[in-house]
Amino acid sequence: MRAVAVREGGKTAADLCIIDVPRPDVGRGHVLIRVTHAGVNRPDILQRRGLYPPPAGASPIMGLEVAGIIESIVPHPDWGDDVAWNIGDRVCALVNGGGYADYVSVDIRHLLPVPQGLSLAEAASLPEVSLTVYANLIEHGGLKAGEAVLVHGANSGIGSMTVMLGKSFGAKVITTVRGADRIDWVRALGADVVIDTTTGDFVEAVKAEGGADVILDIVAGDYVAKNILCLKPKGRLVQVGMARGNTAEIDVTRLMQKQAIITGSMLRPRSPEEKARLTSEVRARVWPLIEAGAIRPVVAKVFPFAEVGAAHEFLDSGAHSGKVVLEL
Ligand SMILES: NC(=O)c1ccc[n+]([C@@H]2O[C@H](COP(=O)([O-])OP(=O)(O)OC[C@H]3O[C@@H](n4cnc5c(N)ncnc54)[C@H](OP(=O)(O)O)[C@@H]3O)[C@@H](O)[C@H]2O)c1
């Protein structure tokens, strides 16, 4: 089968190439998916650069989410023969690597159906952002209806899902973007407030809106101290990324005064059982919102498989709003 590899010694997008490799083994409790589309995510770029090695036991091939067709099924003896899926089903899934290839082996418990009315390309853009945002905004952040959420980089894959999920769960959604050209796009997702950080600091603007109960932060660095200033009493700051750096200096007095909580999480190192639980939550609570049209996939661009290098460059350039997808 075809799979993407990085040329020996290379780390740039131009070093990505397509090679021929054997199909993956399909263990108990797994299905083989014929991949039609794969989501392109920032960790793929870090992996290409050698900065995010695949965890032990994971495929060395890049790619953390896919959509495609079930090619074969190997039931798990302890889970019974009653597999809820059939060969030929259209599915999408979070995968622990291996998505940039014609076939990938996926834990049966991590499968999600392609939401009704969506294309396979759109479905491939959903697992990573749906699971990450549900886990961090709803579970870690404990967002409740009537509360206010702040999300930075609202034009990003994670940011756009946070806007739509936050609105769907009854929250006021305050956002920041870098540039006036992003404002209308983020408003169209349903954001109540869009702050352009290229024209001024966001802290006063968020305070003027009454502050945030939950902040989902993909940038960290100097934003952490500013985020704490934006939190309401008993607010929760949830870190899921670190575009501005992984260290921060904060005034802990502010934390104590506000009885605030700082937390964070990563999706990839979670156990298969934990990912299975999360997948089932997302299927029950997020998939109906997608099928009802309250949450829609936001695919910025679909690249042919042979142009995987261009897809990485496009994502890395920051020119996109929404998600980038490969078509195999
Ligand atoms: N913890 C987890 O489990 C988990 C899971 C998935 C993703 N993530 C992380 O979440 C982040 C977003 O992922 P994504 O796929 O949504 O990425 P993406 O679409 O590439 O978006 C990146 C966003 O970050 C903004 N940004 C980049 N550098 C910035 C800076 N220095 N200051 C302020 N904003 C900045 C970008 O703004 P512009 O558009 O203006 O450049 C853009 O909105 C990534 O860091 C990713 O690693 C974490």
Question: 258-297: per-residue pLDDT in tens?
Answer: 999 999 999 999 999 999 999 999 999 999 999 999 999 9
pLDDT for residue 76: 87
Count the helices and strands in the chain (H runs, E runs).
Answer: 11, 15
Contact residues for 280 (Cβ-Cβ < 8 A; gap 6+): 109
Ligand 1 contact, 155 CB (< 6 A): yes
Of the given ranges (38-42, 79-83, 324-328), which has the lowest mean pLDDT?
Answer: 79-83
pTM flag (> 0.85)? yes
Nearest ligand 1 atom, CA 179: 40
Cβ pair 106, 31 in contact under 8 A: yes
| Å from CA of 217 to ligand 1 middle | 9
Give tens-digit pLDDT for 59-69: 999 999 999 99
From the list 108, 32, 97, 104, the residue with the least C-alpha distance to 70 is 32
**CATH 3.90.180.10 spans which residues of the chain?**
2-126+297-327, 130-264
Q: Is 83's pLDDT higher than 90? A: no
Ligand 1 contact, 132 CB (< 6 A): yes
Q: DSSP 3-state assignment of 158? A: helix
CATH topology of domain 2-126+297-327: Quinone Oxidoreductase; Chain A, domain 1 (3.90.180)
pLDDT for residue 286: 98
Q: Is 81's pLDDT higher than 80? A: no
Residue nearest ligand 1's atom 2 by CA: 266
| Å from CA of 3 to ligand 1 middle | 26
Ligand 1 contact, 168 CB (< 6 A): no
pLDDT for residue 319: 87
Question: In percent, how much of the chain has pLDDT > 70?
Answer: 99
Ligand 1 contact, 110 CB (< 6 A): no
Ligand 1 contact, 61 CB (< 6 A): no
Question: In percent, how much of the chain has pLDDT > 90?
Answer: 93
Distance CA 267, CA 75 (A): 25
Report the pLDDT averaged over residues 71-92: 88
Ligand 1 contact, 239 CB (< 6 A): no
Report the pLDDT averaged over residues 78-94: 87
Q: Is 80's pLDDT higher than 70? A: no
Residue 170 banded pLDDT, cuts 50, 70, 90: very high
CATH entry, 130-264, from 1.10.260.40, 3.40.50.2300, 3.90.180.10, 2.60.40.10: 3.90.180.10
